[in-house]
Amino acid sequence: MVNTISLLGSTGSIGRQTLDVCREQGIRVAALTARSSIELLEQQARAFRPQLVAVYDLEPALELARRLADLKIEVAYGLDGLRRAASLPESEAVVTAVVGMAALWPTMAAVEAGKRVAFANKETLVCAGELVMEAARRYGAEIIPVDSEHSAIFQCMQGCRDRGEVKRLVLTCSGGPFYGLGRAELAKKTKADALRHPNWSMGEKITIDCATLMNKGLEYIEAMRLFRVAPEQVSVVIHRQSIIHSMVEFTDGAVLAQMGTPDMRLPIRYALTYPERRKSEQPPLDLLNCPPLTFAPPDLEAFPCLKMAMDCAKAGGTCCTVLNAANEEAVELFRREMIPFGEIPELAAGALEKIPNISRPSMEEILDADRRGREFVRENIPFH
Ligand code: NAD
Ligand code: MG
């Protein structure tokens, strides 16, 4: 159990739920960070009284400093500010609730400071997971997943003393709002349709990723990085009810599953209280009133993003970074209603085809692949 944390991305969906958990468990928050959202950040700073608040952009940082002038709270800005928040000596753990590859530098700062990292941000693990995990080993940083599937797997693995006993990780997937549709119907879907997730309430980027199933693809790569397993040891099963959060199959045939209501506060709480389990006010899972649990294979033809991510996972190297970068850019264009839904996989596929893969990349090569993936999408926006 940790007593003090730094929270990166406090104004987002995971960030706000992390603060609920801190309130519930009496965990102190020493640093808050966000990109902008000054009003909410001010409220959070007044409620939690951190010693440092870091804002990515300069203008909102100056505005926040004016607003907090009556309190003894330091306001920092830019990447430096985020890095400082991530490596604050007072904080035992850092929650990475920033969306996108932008979390890479503050995450590395937390790892290099030897913190417990409660990892919500999946994009950095997809792009630079091998380097992040290697640095974690070197600096003695403890990496604990927050993503519900990976937290479920982590929980199922407690008590497993020999990783050789793990046969397969089974990621469950709700199927998103467009489950059962074919490619032609999918192509016409709007932003409002894509933001209607059946079971979870989350930030816009991840909600759109759930509609394309890219989210499950990113999680496939995330699982390989976190648990150091081969791609053949990870599989995906559609489970519409989101009650089983994921499973681990062991070599003796036993399959352990972690179940619960779809509420991110559970994996967040576990990442902060681990190895303990603490009481919560969360309503328990009511098995007698839950819908029947169903399982089906994913439709890789209708949802090519998942297939592309699985192929990148198998190939390894910078293609995972290119896929993520192209997806981040394409999702941003879709959010701004500049491209149709069906264009997201097209742009990602185009970037993968155009940009050569480099295996065992250095950090520079990863950053270059990220830049090239984004450039490809910006230069290939189709006219409609
Ligand atoms: P969100 O969009 O709701 O919040 C993102 C946060 O990151 C905000 O506080 C924002 O200010 C901050 N941010 C964005 N860009 C930034 C930048 N350039 N520099 C600094 N801060 C920046 O996102 P979310 O849904 O909370 O997701 C956060 C991460 O957690 C994502 O990687 C997502 O995949 C992962 N995740 C989310 C959920 C969920 O339920 N929301 C579940 C599993 C995993
Ligand atoms: Mg997830």
Residue-wise pLDDT tens digits, 156-174? 999 899 999 999 999 999 9
Cα separation, 254 vs 103, whole angstroms: 37
Mutational test site, ligand 1, from 6, 7, 13, max ligand atoms within 8 Å of CB:
13
Cβ of residue 145 lying under 6 Å from some atom of ligand 1: no
pLDDT at 384: 62
User: Ligand 1, closest atom to CA 202?
Assistant: 41
Q: Letter for the amino acid at 371? A: R
What are the phi and psi torsion angles at 241 (to 5°)?
Answer: -85, -10
Cβ of residue 120 lying under 6 Å from some atom of ligand 1: yes
Cβ of residue 99 lying under 6 Å from some atom of ligand 1: yes
User: Ligand 1, closest atom to CA 16?
Assistant: 26
Mutational test site, ligand 1, from 20, 123, 202, 329, max ligand atoms within 8 Å of CB:
202
Q: Kindly give the distance from the C-alpha atom of residue 167 to the centroid of ligand 1, in angstroms, as a whole number.
A: 32
Cβ of residue 197 lying under 6 Å from some atom of ligand 1: no
Cβ of residue 81 lying under 6 Å from some atom of ligand 1: no
pLDDT at 200: 80
pLDDT at 197: 81
Mutational test site, ligand 1, from 29, 44, 99, 245, max ligand atoms within 8 Å of CB:
99
pTM over 0.85, yes/no: yes
Cα separation, 268 vs 371, whole angstroms: 31
Among 135, 98, 102, residue whose Cα is nearest residue 118: 98
Closest ligand to the CA of 105: 1
Cα separation, 99 vs 109, whole angstroms: 17
Exposed/middle/buried for residue 4 (C-beta within 10 Å: 0-12, 13-18, 19+): middle
Mutational test site, ligand 1, from 42, 98, 107, 124, max ligand atoms within 8 Å of CB:
98
Among 11, 7, 97, 22, residue whose Cα is nearest residue 52: 7
Cβ of residue 106 lying under 6 Å from some atom of ligand 1: no
Cα separation, 154 vs 156, whole angstroms: 6
Cβ of residue 119 lying under 6 Å from some atom of ligand 1: no
Q: Kindly give the distance from the C-alpha atom of residue 364 to the centroid of ligand 1, in angstroms, as a whole number.
A: 24
Cβ of residue 123 lying under 6 Å from some atom of ligand 1: yes
With tokens 């549709």, the residue in question is 181
For the segment 13-67, what is each residue's pLDDT rounded down to a tens digit?
A: 999 999 999 999 999 999 999 998 999 999 999 999 999 999 999 999 999 999 9
Q: How many CB atoms lie within 10 A of CB 318?
A: 26
Closest ligand to the CA of 171: 2
**Ion ligand 2 contact residues with beta carbon within 5 A:** 147-149
Q: Kindly give the distance from the C-alpha atom of residue 181 to the centroid of ligand 1, in angstroms, as a whole number.
A: 28
Q: Kindly give the distance from the C-alpha atom of residue 206 to the centroid of ligand 1, in angstroms, as a whole number.
A: 8
Cβ of residue 151 lying under 6 Å from some atom of ligand 1: no
Spatial strand order of the sheet with 244-250 comes to 234-238, 166-173, 244-250, 255-259
Closest ligand to the CA of 200: 1
With tokens 């894509």, the residue in question is 194
> What tokens does 129 get?
């997971």
Cα separation, 327 vs 303, whole angstroms: 14
Q: Kindly give the distance from the C-alpha atom of residue 379 to the centroid of ligand 2, in angstroms, as a whole number.
A: 30
Q: How many CB atoms lie within 10 A of CB 382?
A: 11
Spell out the per-residue pLDDT of the chain, length 384, in tens.
999 999 999 999 999 999 999 999 999 999 999 998 999 999 999 999 999 999 999 999 999 999 999 999 999 999 999 999 999 999 999 999 999 999 999 999 999 999 999 999 999 999 999 999 999 999 999 999 999 999 999 999 998 999 999 999 999 999 999 999 999 999 889 999 999 888 888 999 999 999 999 999 999 999 999 999 999 999 999 999 999 999 999 999 999 999 999 999 999 999 999 999 999 988 999 999 999 999 999 999 999 999 999 999 999 999 999 999 999 999 999 999 999 999 999 999 999 999 999 999 999 999 999 999 999 999 999 876
Closest ligand to the CA of 120: 1
pLDDT at 36: 86
Cα separation, 191 vs 355, whole angstroms: 28
